[in-house]
Structure 1
Amino acid sequence: MGRLMFKVNPVLVLVLLLAITNAIWYALYQQKQMEIRSIELKYEHLKQMFNKTILHLKELNENYTSLQLRYGRLKQAYDQLYKILEQGLKVAGLNNLTNNSSCSIVIARVGGIVEAYKMLNKSLSKFARIIWLHTSLGPQTQKLIDPDRVMSYVLSRVVGRLYDPNHPEWLDKDIEQIYVWVKDNIINSYDTYFPDIEIVYVNISGELYPKEIRFTLHREYVQNPEETLERRAGDCEDQAILVTSMLQAYLQGLGKAYMVCVVSAEYDITHCASIAVVNGTIYILDTSMEYFGKDVNAYNAIMSWLAYIDYDPQYIDMIMVINDKFYQVFRSLNKFTTWLQNMLQQKG
C-alpha cells in the first residue's frame, strides 16, 4: 500500500495561530477590563464614603463651635456672679451691724446669692462629670457600656436571637456575626477636637465655690453605643464599647464580655477591642482592625491578637479591662493573661 501524503499549507497554519493568539489576548483584555471596572466601582464607593465623612466632620465642627460659645457665656456668667458674691460676703462680714436694717437686707440678699450659687455649683459639677465621661477612658467608661441600649439591635438586626446554652453549636456563629455586623456597618473614624474642663474652686466659709472655669481642647470623644449606632462611625474604643454592650446583651450573664484596652506610654497610643469568655473559650473581636479570633488558651489568644495588630508586648505598660459592672487595671501582660486564664478555667 502506498503512503498517504498530506501537504500542510503554511499560510493556513499561520492564520490559525494568529486567530488563537488573538482569542487569548482578547480574553485577557476582557479580564483586565473587568478588573478595571471593579477598581472604578471601589473608587466610587470610597469617594462616596469620603464625602460622607467630610460632611460628618463639618457637622461635628459646627457642634463644637456652638459648644465653645456656650462655654464662654457660662464662664462669663460665673465670673460675674463670683464678683457679686465676694462683694456681698464682705458686707455680710460686718457682724457688729447685724441690727442695722440696711445691713440685714444686704445679708439676706447675699444669703440668697449664696444659695443660688450653690445650686449653680451643683449644676456645673454635674456638667463637668458629663464632659469627663466622654473625654477619657477609665472607671467612668463603665457607664457607657450598656447592654440594654443595644438589645433590640442584637435581636432584630445583628444575631436574631440570644445565647441558648442548650444549643452550643450556635455560639461561634452568633459571636462572629456580632463582629461581622459591626465591622461592616460601623466606619472607622478619628475623633474630632472636644473641650475638657477644669474647675478652680475657692474656699469661702468652709464651702467650695467655683472661681474659674478653664477648658482645653484635645482630640478625644468617647461615644456611648447609641451615638455610635446613630453615626455609624467611631474609633477603636467607640466600637469596643458597642461590641462589648452587644456581647453582654447576647450572653445574658451566661458568659463574660469585656472591653480591653492596651496602653503604651512610650508611644502614647491606646488601642481597644472586645473579648468574650464562654464555656472555656476566649473570643477576641477587634472590629476596627478587622481581627476575629478564638482560643482556649488566654496567652495564645492575646499574643495572636497583638501580633496581628503589630503591637510589641514589651512596650505595653497597662491593660484596662472594663464592662458595665467591672473595671480593673493590669500593669503587665502576664498578670492580665493569668487572670484571663483563671476565668477561662471557670467555664463562664
Structure 2
Amino acid sequence: MRFVDEVTVEVKGGDGGNGAVAFRREKFVPFGGPSGGDGGDGGDVVFRADERLSTLLDLRYRRKLIAKNGESGRGKDQYGAAGEDLVVRVPIGTQVFDAETGSPVADLDANEKEFVIARGGKGGRGNIHFATPQDRAPRRAEPGEPGEQRKLRIELKLLADVGLLGYPNVGKSTLIASISRARPKIADYPFTTLVPNLGVAAIGERSFVVADIPGIIEGAAEGAGLGHRFLKHVERTRVLLHILTLDPDPDRKPLQDYDVLLSELERFDPELAKRPMIVAVSKLDLPDVKKRVSSIRRGMKARGVDKVLAFSAATGEGIDELLHELVRVLDEHPVAPTPRAAPLGRPGRTAAALDDEGDDVGGDVEYVE
C-alpha cells in the first residue's frame, strides 16, 4: 500500500435549506394564513480518527469533501430535512491546518476522536414565523445559510512511544522486525526503508509502540533525502533510540554520525534535541563492531552520554537489556500534552434562490436577513 502523509483538500459544509413561503388553501378556510416551513440545517464535515488506517491515501483522490445540503421547507408547515453529515475517517496522528493561514485546526491523536472541520449552514425560517397582527399573510422567508468552506492542509505524524533514529543501513528495520511483528523491507544497502513502519514491542507485561523512521542524513533539516518528511514523524515520539554502528564507507564514523544527526535535529526543531534519548550500537555480532564498542562508549562519554547499550538483532544479544532500558525511560517521561486546535468560525449569510416547491404563492417573495 502506498504511504501518503500529506494532502491538501477543500471542505465545505452543506448549505442550509431555504424557508418556504406558502399559505393554507383548504375548503371552507378562506383566510388560512401562512404555512411555509423552515429549511433544514446543512450537514457538517467531520474528521474521525480510525486506528485501522495508516495513511492518507484515500484523501489523495478526494480533493473536495462536501456535506449534504439541508432540504428547503415546504407548505403545510413541513420543515425540510437536515443534510447528512460527511464523516471522513483518517489515521490516528492526523493534524489539520488552515491552508491559507497555517493555523492549526484539529489534532486527532486518539482512536475515534472526532472534530467538526466545516459546519453546515443553518436552515432559513419559513413565513410562518413572520405573521403579525399587521401582516397576517407575510410573503417573506429567510434563505438558508451557506456551509462553512475552507482549504485545508492535512498532515500525518506517526504517534509512537519510541522513534528509531539513525543513518541509513544501521539496522533500524532489522531491530523492529526482531522485537515486533512488523515486517519492513530489509536489505544490505542504504535507503531500504522509504516509509515509516510501526511495530509493537513487548517485554514482560509491558508493551510500547516503536516507529522505524527512514534513515536521516546530513542536510535533512533542509530537506536532503526527504528529510522534512522523515523528521516530522520524530516529533510525535516520546523517546528517541539513536542507533550507531560501523559503516563500510571509510568516510563514515559512528561518533561523527551521532554529531551530524543531533545537529540535524536541533536545526529542524530545537526541542527535538532535548527529547529523552537512548544511544545503542547495533550489529554486535560483527567482530569489527564488537572491537569498537569500548572506544565508541568513551567517545560518547566525552559528549555527555554516560550509558551506551549494544545489541545484535540477528542473534538477540543485548535485546532484553535494550527493551528494559526503553521501558524505564518511558516510565520516567509520560506522554506530552498535544496542542489545542484553533476554534472554527461561523459562516456568514448570503441570499439564495427560494424554491416554493409548487406551494400557492402570490406576488414577489422577500428575503429577510
Q: TM (normalized to structure 2)?
A: 0.27
More helix by share: 1
The structure having more radius of gyration, on CA atoms, is: 1
